Copies of this chain bind each other. A is one copy, B any other.
């Protein structure tokens, strides 16, 4: 499985050397030769806050890896109701293989940097390297697991449980060893409207439940987006209803 035997850093294209996708992302499946080939066709792009990255009707000729920032995947109803159906962090893969167009809109939730490449390149790599398809397949299985976890949250949890679940999810992505820390501080990558659209709530309810958590002494709110978690285990207990 490992491609790393007898490989020197000098074999890795410069543009890829500090990239997370090479380790945890799909590019980890590639040999230096394949990586070099791919890197000839990639372009790194920066996108500001709120910019649409993938639209549902437009034909998309690129796939991307998320290098930094957070991408939200949303669905719309004709009357404007909106639901966020997924969040993508570095080094997630962005795009819908084996389909002409996506049925979600991908939008930058924060400032975002992407590494994009033509669809055709990925498709030819996939035929050569089953490892690559394996990695993609596994990412999609993870996304499926996450989507189903979230369905439970959307369908069956109360407002405060939803908000706690959201905070736990964000913390687990931003700071993987959260458990160990007594007090941790995070910057929310989403504004209130986005949180509401992710949780199937209104802005007002999100705001109220946040003050609710503050009054319970579980969180402390700094500068709107800065949140200090004062009692992470209690937050988890609210999220999945395992209170004593």
Q: Footprint of B on A, CB under 8 Å?
A: 73, 75, 77-79, 81-83, 85-86, 96-99, 103-104, 127, 130, 133-134, 136-138, 140-141, 143-145, 147-152, 154-157, 199-200, 240-242
Contacts and interface: CB of A to CB of B under 8 A. Distances in A.
29 contacts: A77-B156, A77-B241, A78-B240, A78-B242, A81-B156, A81-B157, A82-B156, A83-B151, A83-B156, A85-B148, A85-B151, A85-B152, A86-B148, A96-B141, A97-B141, A103-B145, A103-B149, A104-B148, A127-B130, A130-B130, A133-B133, A136-B137, A137-B140, A144-B144, A144-B147, A150-B151, A151-B151, A154-B154, A154-B200
A97 B142 CA distance: 11
A138 B78 CA distance: 28
A79 B130 contact: no
A151 to B, nearest CB: 5
A152 B75 contact: yes
Contacts of A127: 130
Contacts of A148: 73, 75, 85-86, 103-104, 147
A130 B123 CA distance: 13
A28 to B, nearest CB: 15
Contacts of A98: 137-138, 141
Given A78-B240, A140-B140, A200 B155 contact: yes
Contacts of A77: 152, 156-157, 240-241
Contact of A133 (B82, B134, B151, B156): B134
